Structure 1
């Protein structure tokens, strides 16, 4: 009789443990679903911002053409068009900054961004590449969400698959040393690859960052 009670209690404890594990699994799954929904919503908002920015840029270009025409007419109309142009230029610049900030926020909030930041701050005694194929797929998906035209334009520019990795990794703004650590390559390899990429993309001058140039393609 005592043995039967012990087994009954063990069964109850096991059942309770399974219920707790199930609840934790469901809670974790719900958290992931909510996070993915939030990211998807932010991506939609980003696309709306891009469309609005393009509309305002077209309006700005139209005002620019009107300014040139007004220069041939009277000065009063010229002043009016100049005022409209200046106001529209300020609106477009503000939209550009908001669009850039939204993309930066999406990147910083992504799981792969946080993993990369953690990886480069953790010792790598085994000297192995810290990014798996799954990680690279996540990187490509993250950047392509924000810069949908980038991948195709890199292909047209003659960028190789290896060089494409450095292009996408540039958005995480790591220096050459950290990139080498992350990829487990010689410390000068990232620099050599970026130099070759800049030559292919005809990026002149050292002030413009690779990711800044690539962002204009997205």
Structure 2
């Protein structure tokens, strides 16, 4: 009765009967029925222009029945489309997948998708969806015609049935033999593939082991070279001789060690794989880890930063430490959790404090120079 009144545009009467149906079905705790009636109530409230109640009943329909959720997701998508919230409309339309009791629901999904993309201005995608909608609609119509044809062709005599059965037996025997052969081939193929996989794993393990040994050897060589350079620089300094070349080589070695650290790789990877609408700035623990790592590699810089004779703010101090990672402006903005414009302003203020009267100077170079 509610559907009849709804089709006749008597929405108040339709709502009256649908609410009665809802109270009856709720007492029986029939989840499938509750879901169906909730969907109907959502449709009526949608026609009445009460968007919030429509959304509430569609959500209730989805939570009551997990078997046939496509109509409610489609209705929610249509609701957001009517409000010109195209992103939300696309989101719920993407959820409206899978089989439905109503064969026309999946077809309606294509048509709503066409309307959304048409309003969004994506003409090519809109036309593609419209073509799919028409193809699905024609296919369903052809299927219905085919059912009628099949029903008309079900008149067979006994001889034909017997012959068909004999053919089926022969086909089954052939298919069984073919299935056995295919299974044997699959087993052999699986064994060959598994052997190849194990060889690949062994090769990767060997490669990782070699890389580990190479890194350990490189780190040992770097540590030895750093000790030699440090000792030689201290000797030169005691003799009041020029130590600039030693400082440069020591700095290069320490920067190389920083780049080889797992923390450096993790942060660079985070900047390379920026995910929209997800905050990726460093948390407090990550900042502490970065500062500890740089302080351990550049102890003189650590002393300079702690003394903070230039009055650097907390954000400006972070800019100083990030300068060791050799980041682009947009990468620095990601780790700070700010826009590129804000990151550029922070850089400019930090550069003015570190390198006054040196336009275009490098922040990291100034830090290393003052840290010595």
TM-score between both structures, scaled by the size of structure 1: 0.60
Is 1:123 matched with 2:274? yes
Match of 2:288 among 134, 137, 152: 137
2:250 maps to what in 1? 99
Deviations 1:15-43 (A, max 9, x none): xxxxxxxxxxxxxxxxx9xx89x969956
**Matched-pair contact (CA < 8 Å) for 1:43–1:145:** no
1:211 maps to what in 2? 364
**Matched-pair contact (CA < 8 Å) for 2:301–2:367:** yes
Query: Aligned-pair distance for 1:109?
Result: 0.8
2:329 maps to what in 1? 176
- Structure 1 residues 196 and 47, CA gap change in structure 2 (3 angstroms): farther
1:23 maps to what in 2? none
Partner SS for 2:272: coil
**Matched-pair contact (CA < 8 Å) for 2:354–2:367:** no
CA separation in 2, counterparts of 1:162 and 1:47? 34
**Matched-pair contact (CA < 8 Å) for 1:128–1:184:** yes
Is 1:161 matched with 2:314? yes
**Matched-pair contact (CA < 8 Å) for 1:157–1:201:** yes
2:24 maps to what in 1? none
**Matched-pair contact (CA < 8 Å) for 1:176–1:187:** yes
Q: Which stretch shifts more, 99-108 or 204-213?
A: 204-213
- Structure 1 residues 129 and 47, CA gap change in structure 2 (3 angstroms): farther
- Structure 1 residues 116 and 40, CA gap change in structure 2 (3 angstroms): farther
- Structure 1 residues 124 and 201, CA gap change in structure 2 (3 angstroms): same
CA separation in 2, counterparts of 1:126 and 1:47? 47
2:259 maps to what in 1? 108
Match of 2:298 among 147, 160, 166: 147
1:55 maps to what in 2? 235
- Structure 1 residues 177 and 158, CA gap change in structure 2 (3 angstroms): same
**Matched-pair contact (CA < 8 Å) for 1:119–1:130:** no
Where does the alignment leave 5 or more consecutive residues of structure 2 unmatched? 1-211
**Matched-pair contact (CA < 8 Å) for 2:295–2:302:** yes
- Structure 1 residues 146 and 47, CA gap change in structure 2 (3 angstroms): farther
- Structure 1 residues 40 and 134, CA gap change in structure 2 (3 angstroms): farther
- Structure 1 residues 44 and 207, CA gap change in structure 2 (3 angstroms): farther
Q: How many residues align?
A: 159
1:28 maps to what in 2? none
RMSD, aligned α-carbons: 3.2
Larger radius of gyration between Structure 1 and Structure 2: 2
- Structure 1 residues 114 and 107, CA gap change in structure 2 (3 angstroms): same
**Matched-pair contact (CA < 8 Å) for 2:354–2:363:** no
**Matched-pair contact (CA < 8 Å) for 1:171–1:211:** yes
CA separation in 2, counterparts of 1:52 and 1:135? 35
Query: Aligned-pair distance for 1:181?
Result: 2.2
Partner SS for 1:158: coil
Query: Aligned-pair distance for 1:105?
Result: 1.3
